[in-house]
Amino acid sequence: MSNALRVFIVFFSLVCIACLLSAIAPVLAQSATFAWPQGKKIALSLSFDDARNSQVEGGTALLDKYGVKATFYVHPSAVEKRLDGWKKAVASGHEIGNHSLNHPCSGNFLWARNKALEEYSLEKMRDELVQANQQIKALLGVTPESFAYPCGQTFVGRGVDTRSYVPIIASLFTSGRTWLNEAPNDPGYADFAQLTGVESDGKDFAQILPIIEDAKKNNLWVVLAGHEMNTEGNQTTRLAMLEKLVQYANDPKNEIWIAPVGTIAKYIQAKKTPR
């Protein structure tokens, strides 16, 4: 290889690296410089789906003991079963989100075959989401501003007729949370209609801690998502883990801002410059 060719290759490589760095720098800068209140290094939201009875039979009591507010994504029919408990949760300052009217999911879940997303239309979905909000308002006196996708699924229809219902969520709610994600939310980048939700069910504190510490390196927002709040069982966020987590989050030296999804979403939106 001639010297001239070597020089050209080195020069060309340097130009490519410079282009790449300049392209990703704004993205990196957005999260690294995002300022949480009071110099906190990470935002953390606890969220729980389905208005399971255990949430108001033991879960909210534990959170209230530590003054921590969570987001509960409910359907109205489940709220009716423990109406007093849910009214108390609202009075304690917990956020109530919408988790649909009938919890439609893919018909591959046999329990969802009679309300399968594959058979839904966007119109039916929108109507039911509005109805759910109206019913929740009638039951609890609050109108949900956040939504959690049942089963984390964001589509209606099938094949070439499949449609995303994310745009409906973006138009009706200030935020929408999905499910079983691996990455936290980057406040400078995240689509608020598809916030990620990291599972808290079945995990010990030792499994949750690295998720938080990793997110802290880049000032990210972790939204944990669970179901039952109990000592053990299927789809259960264990109260023992939760107690350690809220104690850790409340300790100022850990620099964590723990707040409901809606509170953090509003804070980010108020600070974000339009993209």
Which range in 48-56, 109-117, 233-241, 253-261 contacts Zn ion by CB under 5 A?
Answer: 48-56
Residue nearest to Zn ion (CB): 49
Selection from 170, 219, 171 nearest residue 192 by Cα: 170
Structure tokens at 10: 């080195």
Q: Cβ 29 to Zn ion, closest distance in Å?
A: 36
Binder among 45, 50, 51, 86 for Zn ion (CB under 5 A): 50
Which token pair is 168?
Answer: 């409906």
Alpha-carbon span 57 to 49, nearest angstrom: 15
Phi, psi of 60 (to 5 degrees): -65, -30
Whether residue 41 contacts residue 255, with contact meaning beta carbons closer than 8 Å, is answered with yes
Residues in the chain: 275
Stretch that binds Zn ion, among 50-58, 136-144, 211-219, 261-269 (CB under 5 A): 50-58
Kindly indicate which of the ranges 125-133, 145-153, 164-172, 203-211 contains the residues binding Zn ion, using the contact rule CB under 5 A. 145-153
CB of 173 to Zn ion, least distance (A): 16
Residue placing its CB nearer to Zn ion in the complex, 179 or 205: 179
Distance CA(78)–CA(224), nearest Å, equals 21
Number of residues that bind Zn ion (CB under 5 A): 3
| Rounded (to 5) percent helix, strand, coil in the chain | 50, 15, 30
Specify the residue, 150 or 176, whose C-beta has the smaller distance to Zn ion: 150
DSSP category for residue 84: H
Token duo for residue 64: 């209230």
Contact predicate 151/109, CB 8 Å: yes
> Is 199 a binder of Zn ion (CB under 5 A)?
no
**For residue 220, how many C-alpha atoms fall within 13 Å in the half-sphere facing its CB?**
24
Stretch that binds Zn ion, among 117-125, 142-150, 159-167, 217-225 (CB under 5 A): 142-150
Q: Which of 49, 95, 145, 199 binds Zn ion (CB under 5 A)?
A: 49
The nearest distance, CB 82 to Zn ion, in angstroms, is: 16
Tell me which stretch binds Zn ion (CB under 5 A): 20-28, 113-121, 147-155, 253-261: 147-155
Nearer to Zn ion, 50 or 118 (CB): 50
Long-range contacts for 14-22 (Cβ within 8 Å, ≥24 apart)? Answer: none
CB of 132 to Zn ion, least distance (A): 13
CB of 151 to Zn ion, least distance (A): 7
The three-class DSSP label of residue 42 is strand
**Which residues are near Zn ion by CB under 5 A?**
49-50, 150
